[in-house]
Amino acid sequence: MAGLTARLKSWEGILLVLFLITFFGNIWLAPEFLTLQNQINLFQLSIEKIIVALVMTLIIINAEIDLSVASVMGLSACAFGYMTTNGWSAAGAMVICLGIGLVAGTLNAFLIARAKIPSLVVTLAMLIMFRGFARVLVKDQSMGNFPEWVTHLGQNALIGPFPLSLILFAVALVGLGILLHRTGFGRQIVVIGTNAEVARFSGIDVARVKTVLYLMSGFVSALAGLLYAARLGSVRGDAATGFELDIITMVLLGGVSIFGGKGSMTGVLLSILIILNLRNGMALTNITGHIQTGVIGILLIASVLIPNLAADFRNRRAKA
Amino acid sequence: MRIHPQTLRLIALGLALLATVLFFSTQIDSYLSPRMFTRITTSAAVILPVAVGQALVVMTRNIDLSIGSTVGVVAYLTGQFLGLHGDLNPVLVAGLAMGIGGAMGAVNGVLVAWGRVPSIIVTLGTLALFRSFLVQYSDAKTITTASLPQWLVDLPQANAFSIFGLDVRVTVVLAMCSAIAMGLALTRLRAARRFYAVGSNPDAAVMAGINSAKVVFVAFVLSGVLAGLAGFLFLAKFGNITVVAGLGFELKAVAAVVVGGVSIIGGSGSMIGVVIGTVLVDTIDNSLTRWELVSEFWRDALLGMLIMAAVTVDTVMSRQLGRIGLKTGPLKAGPL
């Protein structure tokens, strides 16, 4: 157990160093980087992804995955655009979009927790299907013209200098952090992720825990989709496409084991900060969006590969 | 006479394809025509090699999401190379395409087999990586038909043979060759049976002396090689290659494989199923674009539902079979 804690600590230590490097790198590249408004903008540019990453953390610690999050975001955003364009009230449309998220989560939960089909396949099929529904709704158009209060809520500060989405992120971070690390439900998530069989034999309702997690994921993804629509002011059929790459990278770089059972919110927060600063730094040095995506891809693989290689190295040294 | 469940699965799949064709023939004018046959077969021919490679990877309990990007990179690089050296022997060109694909597959293979990084993570990463390489490398330049040698431009229209007035194109024959060769290997070759062994029970495979890391590596390399072949066929079919070439192929391939009855938990599946699955997915895709009643934007939604339905039916069915198996003794494991 001590070894495990030490390892987690050391991973978080590495993350802290990486974060400081990217952070001071940004200050060095652009001295005006350190203003509060810039820091808020930094979060705002990827706010939808980092909110979803928090729930994804719980799902991956539970040894499952949800590849459908970006499509649920896209579907929610497109449904919102479709309804407001067709004369619905924006508030009513929002409620329906959140409902869509819950339905999506229920569908995933039923197939994964009850029908016991691997989450990889279920959520991959849902990735295709929900994106398809989003396309059906908006076709090849761009739908905007939201009421002013919607875009205001999506783009402007709500309390002090902080916009709504950033406040939601902070609340979700603290709330889910407490849920994971301080409650019985959180322990159940970890135990199931470590060994689902053992969890079942010790009387944990595995299906119930998984159901709750996928419902949360659907709901939060739909909420993130709404925030995305409100921030950009219009939606297209490809809204949020490919976001799952960034989201899963944030979680795994944060030291969450892809095999389940291990990970902390602190690690994920550090990795979110690293990726935000890294993207900002790359933008400052005129590295285009496509290379940025490639770098994220490398980061994703490295965040699993390096701990594996380190474990091999330790094992070999222990044997010698 | 007892019918093997796998055979039953194939018959059901064949009937589903037949029903789909009959349904669309009542909806779309002049659907059952030689032209439509050519349209669907040549379009399915580009997907088929990718699906065959994906099937091998899925059999070993892995997944390859990077192939869409591999197809794009191979089509672009091969097209560019042909623009400079148009006199290259056609066989060598196909070999070059497959070599590039194989090298990209090897990257995935090394990381999964020896780096022990789950395939979903590796290939999600390389999906992004290969595509961003293509965007960067191409510098927004398009490969155009004009820069390609005449034989390649003519290849998609070239007929291999005609049967009952239906034209079978050379590209279709090439794609079918990859499926038939792999199908024969999987049923006849001892080395190819290892894909099943590793997928159905990795621990037992190791105890039986199989180097499962090597088997997984080979599966990914072959997936890359076949994606390379698909890239070559893609280049021939479309001629104009942009940075979005092959985008989303991985999803179609996964759909074809899963609908074709390759078990997502590894260890079983047949090439006949993969071929029928590919044709079914592509028939639906091609027919929806011509169906006036429903917008073509339904394609993806239907594709997702189709995968989900196939997986659910398979899971429920295999559980039922498992129960029968307990009562009547172990079922003979014998995928076609």
Q: Is residue A157 classed as helix, strand or coil in its secondary structure?
A: strand
Residue A4, pLDDT > 60, answer no
Q: Provide the shortest C-alpha distance from residue B335 to chain A (in Å).
A: 21
Is B233 or A318 the better-scoring residue by pLDDT?
A: B233
- Give the confidence band of B68 by pLDDT, cuts at 50, 70, 90: very high
B255 at A interface, C-beta within 8 A: yes
pLDDT of residue B1: 56
User: Cβ–Cβ of A111/B307 closer than 8 Å?
Assistant: no
A/B interface, count of CB pairs below 8 Å: 128
Picking from A126, A137, A131, A300, the residue whose alpha carbon sits closest to that of residue A214 is A126
User: Is residue B321 very low, low, confident or very high in pLDDT (cuts 50, 70, 90)?
Assistant: low
Inter-CA distances, B35 with A307, B165, B174, B286, Å: 55, 10, 20, 12
Looking at the predicted structure, is the pLDDT value of residue B174 above 60?
yes
Of the listed ranges A111-115, A179-183, A186-190, B261-265, the one predicted with least confidence: B261-265
> Could you read off the pLDDT of A60-112 as tens digits, one per residue?
999 999 999 999 999 999 999 999 999 899 999 999 999 999 999 999 999 99
Is A315 within 8 Å of chain B by CB?
Answer: no
Distance CA B161, CA B129 (A): 40
Report the residue of chain A nearest B295, measured CA to CA: A136
* pTM score of the predicted model: 0.86
ipTM: 0.82
Tell me the chain B residues in contact with residue A113 when contact means C-beta distances shorter than 8 Å: none
**Cα of A157 to nearest chain B Cα, Å:** 34
Residue-averaged pLDDT of chain B? 86
Residue A186's pLDDT band, with cuts at 50, 70 and 90, is very high
Q: Is the pLDDT of residue A5 over 60?
A: no
**pLDDT bucket at A307, cuts 50 / 70 / 90:** confident
Residue A1, judged by CB atoms within 10 A of its CB (0-12, 13-18, 19+), counts as exposed
Partner residue opposite A125 with nearest CB, options B136, B265, B308: B308
- Comparing A207 with B30, the larger pLDDT belongs to A207
What does the pLDDT average to over A165-184?
96
Q: Which residue has the higher pLDDT, A293 or B160?
A: A293
pLDDT tens digit string along B82-101?
888 878 888 999 999 999 99
Q: What is the pLDDT of residue A259?
A: 86
Total Cβ atoms within 10 A of residue B244: 12
Greater pLDDT, A177 or B154: A177
Q: In the structure encoding, which two tokens stand for residue B33, read together?
A: 């025509």
pLDDT of the residue at A293? 87
* Record: contact A136-B298, CB cut-off 8 A: yes
Per-residue DSSP letter, B291: -
Q: Is the pLDDT of residue B320 over 80?
A: no
Q: Decide the pairing of beta strands A235-236 and B159-163.
A: unpaired
β pairing state of A162-163 and B159-163: unpaired
Q: Which residue has the tokens 């499962």?
A: B212
B317 exposed, middle or buried (CB, 10 Å; 0-12, 13-18, 19+)?
A: middle
Hey, what are B21's tokens? 């064709």
- pLDDT tens for residues B11-38? 888 888 898 889 888 888 788 888 888 8
